[in-house]
Amino acid sequence: MYSSDIFAMAFENLRTGVLLLERATGRVMEANPAFLRLCGRSRGEVVGRTFWAPPLIGDAQAGAEVFEHLRAGGLVEGAALPLETRDGSRLLLEVSGREPTAGVVQLEVQDATARAGARMAERMEAQRSLAARVAVEFTEAHRAFETASEILANCARRGQSTFQESDEIRKAAARTDAIAQELLAYSGRSAVETVRVQLNEVIEGMRPALEQILGRDIQLVADLSEDVAPVMADAAQTRRILLKLAANSGEAMAHGGKFRIGTRNAPADDPMLGRIGDRGS
């Protein structure tokens, strides 16, 4: 049996959707049965069409970005793109493409709709956990305020010291302010206020929220230098950035991984400043 026959047999029998595209135009040259079943279309409805735009890919802009990356010789692994099926429904595809060979781009596509739904459910669970934690924090703070206020009133009537009770109220107020700032950062509605910020304290204080957003399959790794200097920044905006990074990382690492965050002192001319960190996690 010739190698071409072996390739044809594998192409036809693969359970994963496979497409061959023209590098110059992005038009489908060939599609295997697995892809045709996935999109609910016949071969004639797919071959000759541009894969990267409707009626196949539902987001033309996102499709164009992936296509241009492949045309430039880049490698795509697990890019998320919406597929429009024949009956009008949408599936979420994971698209992987190899470097073009002889003017042809080979794509492998898989239905990731179920995994995306699971990730959404996990994010909703994280939000419910955050809401529950907020409720507990504010309930405890309310009790602390109420108890301390009663003791303060009694002490004032008796002429006794009220330092301890005042300190308890201050601590409860600090806890409620911290959780309120975390919620504002999460919602993106906090006002900018530049102050001296201890990044290590901010990161450590946000561990529970970050771990909830990342989910069970992603490990949070914090490499915090003990002697890191404070920075002038907006604490709420800093929290918001960390939350956004965690959310984006959770989306990008659908199969799990590590979310690394670190702090260290660096001179202003450090060439690493402003660069994206290690992408291996």
Question: Do the beta carbons of residue 97 and residue 106 sit within 8 Å?
Answer: yes
pLDDT tens, position by position, 120-176 = 666 677 667 776 677 677 777 766 666 666 666 666 666 655 555 566 666 666 667
Both 57 and 127 in a single domain?
A: no
pLDDT-derived band at 221 (thresholds 50, 70, 90) equals very high
60 part of a folded domain: yes
CATH code assigned at 72: 3.30.450.20
Question: Do the beta carbons of residue 210 and residue 242 sit within 8 Å?
Answer: yes
pLDDT tens, position by position, 201-213 = 889 888 877 887 7
Ranges assigned E (strand) in 112-245:
194-197, 218-224, 231-234
Which of 111, 141, 159 is the endpoint of a domain? 111
Both 59 and 185 in a single domain?
A: no
Give the count of domains, the chain.
Answer: 2
273 part of a folded domain: no
Considering the entire predicted model, what is its pTM?
Answer: 0.41
Instruction: Quote the domain boundaries for residue 239.
Output: 117-263
